[in-house]
Chains A and B, each alone.
Chain A
Amino acid sequence: MAGSTPASPIAEAVHIVAAPARVRHESLGREAWRRFCRHRLALISCGILAVMVLVLIFGTLIWPVAINDIDFAAMTQGPTLAHPLGTDDLGQDLLARMIYGGRISLAVGIAAMLVAVFVGVFLGAVAGTARGSVDMALMWLCDLFLSLPQLPLLLLIIYLFQNTLRKLVGLEFGTFVLIVAVIGGFRWMSIARLVRAQFFSLREKEFVEAARALGASTLRQVLRHILPNALGPVIVAGTIEVANAIIAESTLSFLGLGFPPDIPSWGRILYDAKDYLDVAPHWALFSGGAIFLTVMAINYVGDGLRDALDPRRVIG
C-alpha cells in the first residue's frame, strides 16, 4: 500500500476516497489537473509564477526605464514613486534591473533544467535499455558525479573557461552558455537514475511485451511505449530542477563568478547589494525575496505535480 500515501501532506487527506464511477470517462490529463487543483498551495504558486512571468515579459513595456541609467542624485534610495523598488549605489532603477534580472534567472533556470533533463533521460534510457556492462558503467559514472563536490568544481570550470568562451561568442551569450552547461551538466544524475528505474520496471510490463511480440523494434518500444510512461516522475524532477538551477545561478553570481555587473541577474543584484546592507537594505531584500518567492513557488508546483502525476494514488 506504499503508493496510496500522498507524497505531500499539504493536499488534504480528506479527499482520499474510492474513485467514483465518472472518473473512468475522464482523460488522464484532466484527472491529473483535477488532482493538481486539490493542492491549493500549488495552485496559488502556479498563479504567482504566471503573474511573475507576465511581469517579466511585458514589464519593460509598462516600465520603460533603462537598467543602466546612472543618477547620482538618487543613490541607494528606498522605494519612492519615481523608483518603486528604490535605487542602487549608482542611482540605477532597481525595478528595471529586477525585471531584466528575472528574465536572465528564469531563462538560466529553464535552460539548465532542459540540459539536465535531456542528458538524464538519454543516459537513463540507454542504461535502462542496454543493461549489462553499459548500465554498470553509466551507473558508476552517475555515482561518481554524485560524489563530486559540485560548487567547487562549478567555480573551477567557470574560472578556467569563462574568458575563452566570452571571446568566442560574446560576453552575454558566452556567460549564459557556460553557466547553463555547467549547471545542467552537474544535475542530470537523479533524473538518469529515475528514468533507469522506470525503464527496468516498465520493460517487463504486459503492454511492452505485447509490442515486442508484435515485432516492434527496440527503438520503437522505447520511444512509443516505455518513454511516455516514464515521463511522470521526470516532469516532477524537472520542475524542482528549475528551482535548483535558479539557486545555483544565483549562488555563482553571488560569489562574483556568474554574470558580470552589466548583466544584472537576481543573484548578481544581491551580490552588489551585500556591501550596502546598512544603508540600503531594500536592495538586498527585493532581489533575495524575488529568488526566494520564485524558488518556493516552483517547489510547491513540483509538490502538487507529484501528487497529480503519481498514478498509484486514488483521489476522488
Chain B
Amino acid sequence: MLNYLVRRLLLAVPSILGISVILFTVLALAPGDPFSDLASDPSIPPSVAAALRAKFGLDDPVYLRYFHWLVAMLHGDWGFSFASRIDVSTLILGRLPTTLCVIGASQVLALMIAVPVGVYAGVRPYSFFDQAASSVALIGFSLPTFFTGLVLILVFSVDLHWLPMVYRTDIGGSGVPLAWTYIKQAIMPVAVLGLFQGAAWTRFVRASVLDVVRLDHVTTARAKGLPERVVILKHVVRNALIPVVTLVALQMPIVFGGAIITEQIFRVPGIGSLLISAILANDTPVIMGVTFVFACLVILFNLIADLLYGWLDPRISYR
C-alpha cells in the first residue's frame, strides 16, 4: 500500500514540473517587461535601471530564470501582491478553505445525485425513468453554470428574497444562527456546481452500469439466488464505479473552472474570485500563484482518484 502510494507520488512530480514549465513559458513568452516603466522614466538613470535588471536577474538566460523561479516557488516564496500589499502565499492560504468547502460540498451533492440516478437508470435501460433521467441530465449539462447561477439569483434572491445574493465571511453572531447563515448563503453556489457535475456524472454512471450489468458474474450472482439489492450494490455498483472514478478525475479541471465562475457570480471569497480580481488588477504574482495552486489541486485530486481506483479494483493496486 505504502509502496503504491510512494510510486504514485513520484509519478506526480513530473506532472507538476511539466505544468510549471508551461506556466513559466507562458509568462516568459508574454510581451511586456516589468521594468519597461523604468526605462521610459526620465528621472531614473539608465545605469540604475540596468543595475536593477541585473539584481533581479532579468537578463539571465531563460533556463536560469526558470530555475530561480522554481526554487523560489518551492520555498514558498510566491512573491508579493501588488494590489493588496501582502504575501501571495498568505493571501491564497486565507482564501483556499472557502474554495475547498464549496467544491467539496458540491462534489458530494453531485455524487449523491449521480450514483443513485445513474445506477437506477442503468439497471432499467430504456424504461421511462431512464429516458427521463437521461433527458434531464443532457439538459443539465447543457446549462452553463453562469446561466444557472444568474437564474437562481433571479428566482431565490431577487423575486423570493429567500437566499442572500452575496456570499460573506464577515458575519457576526454565533451558534446556530451563524451556522444557518453560512448554510443559507452556500446553498446556491453549491447547488449550481453540484447539479452541473451531477448531470455530467449521471451519464457516466449510467453508461458504466449498462456495461457491467450484462457481465457473466452478475448473471451468476443472480443465479445463486442473491437478492437483487445485493447483486446491484455489491456486484454491479462497485465494478461500475471503477471507470467512473477515472472520468471524475479527468473532469477535475472542469470542476475548478466551474468553481471560478460560481465564485465570481456569488462573490464567494475563494481563490477563484481572487484570480479574476487579480487579472482585472494586473496583479501578476497573485495570478501565477493561484494558477499554480489550481494545477497542484488537479494533480492532488488525480492522486486521490488513483488511490480510490486501487481500493475499488484490487487487481491493479499495490503491486
Chain B contacts of A270 at CB under 8 A?
146-147, 150
- Residue tally, chain B, CB below 8 Å to A: 58
Whether the Cβ atoms of B19 and A291 lie closer than 8 Å is: no
Distance, CA A262 to CA B214, complexed state (A):
56
Q: Does A10 contact B (CB under 8 A)?
A: yes
Q: Does B205 contact A (CB under 8 A)?
A: no
Q: Does A13 contact B (CB under 8 A)?
A: yes
Q: Does B180 contact A (CB under 8 A)?
A: no
| CB closest chain-B residue, reference A257 | B279
Chain A contacts of B134 at CB under 8 A?
8-10
Chain A contacts of B288 at CB under 8 A?
156
A291 CB to closest chain B CB (Å) equals: 6
A151 with B256, Cβ < 8 A, contacts A9-B131, A164-B31 known? yes
Whether the Cβ atoms of B279 and A159 lie closer than 8 Å is: yes
Distance, CA A292 to CA B237, complexed state (A):
32
Q: Does B46 contact A (CB under 8 A)?
A: no
Q: Size band of the A side of the interface?
A: 35 or more
- The segment from A66-74, A122-130, A140-148, A216-224 that touches chain B is A140-148
B59 CB to closest chain A CB (Å) equals: 20
A251 with B26, Cβ < 8 A, contacts A147-B15, A152-B290 known? no
Q: Does B190 contact A (CB under 8 A)?
A: no
A10 CB to closest chain B CB (Å) equals: 6
Whether the Cβ atoms of A277 and B150 lie closer than 8 Å is: yes
Q: Does A5 contact B (CB under 8 A)?
A: yes
Whether the Cβ atoms of A292 and B143 lie closer than 8 Å is: yes
| CB closest chain-B residue, reference A163 | B31
CB interface residues, B 227-241, toward A, < 8 Å: none
Distance, CA A190 to CA B30, complexed state (A):
28
Chain A contacts of B158 at CB under 8 A?
277-278, 281
Whether the Cβ atoms of B125 and A251 lie closer than 8 Å is: no
Chain B contacts of A13 at CB under 8 A?
125-126
Please report whether the interface of chain A is mostly helix, strand, loop or mixed according to DSSP. Answer: helix
Whether the Cβ atoms of B290 and A288 lie closer than 8 Å is: no
Whether the Cβ atoms of A144 and B18 lie closer than 8 Å is: yes
Q: Does B260 contact A (CB under 8 A)?
A: yes
Interface centre among A147, A152, A243, A270 (most CB of B within 10 A): A152
Distance, CA A256 to CA B31, complexed state (A):
21
Chain A contacts of B23 at CB under 8 A?
153, 156
Q: Does A2 contact B (CB under 8 A)?
A: yes
Distance, CA A247 to CA B143, complexed state (A):
9
Distance, CA A295 to CA B200, complexed state (A):
14
Whether the Cβ atoms of A152 and B30 lie closer than 8 Å is: no
| CB closest chain-A residue, reference B22 | A148
Question: Which of A9, A155, A291 contacts B275 (CB under 8 A)?
Answer: A155
Q: Does A201 contact B (CB under 8 A)?
A: no
B252 CB to closest chain A CB (Å) equals: 8
Q: Does B144 contact A (CB under 8 A)?
A: yes
Q: Does A303 contact B (CB under 8 A)?
A: yes
Whether the Cβ atoms of A274 and B265 lie closer than 8 Å is: yes
A10 with B211, Cβ < 8 A, contacts A147-B253, A149-B253 known? no
Q: A152-B260, A288-B151, A295-B144 are in contact. List 15 more A-B contacts (CB 8 A).
A: A9-B121, A9-B130, A143-B15, A148-B253, A149-B253, A150-B257, A152-B256, A156-B23, A156-B279, A251-B146, A251-B257, A254-B146, A270-B150, A274-B150, A292-B142
23 A-B Cβ contacts within 8 A? A8-B134, A9-B131, A9-B206, A10-B134, A41-B135, A147-B15, A147-B298, A149-B253, A150-B257, A151-B256, A152-B294, A153-B23, A156-B23, A160-B32, A161-B31, A274-B150, A274-B265, A278-B158, A292-B147, A295-B142, A296-B138, A300-B138, A303-B138
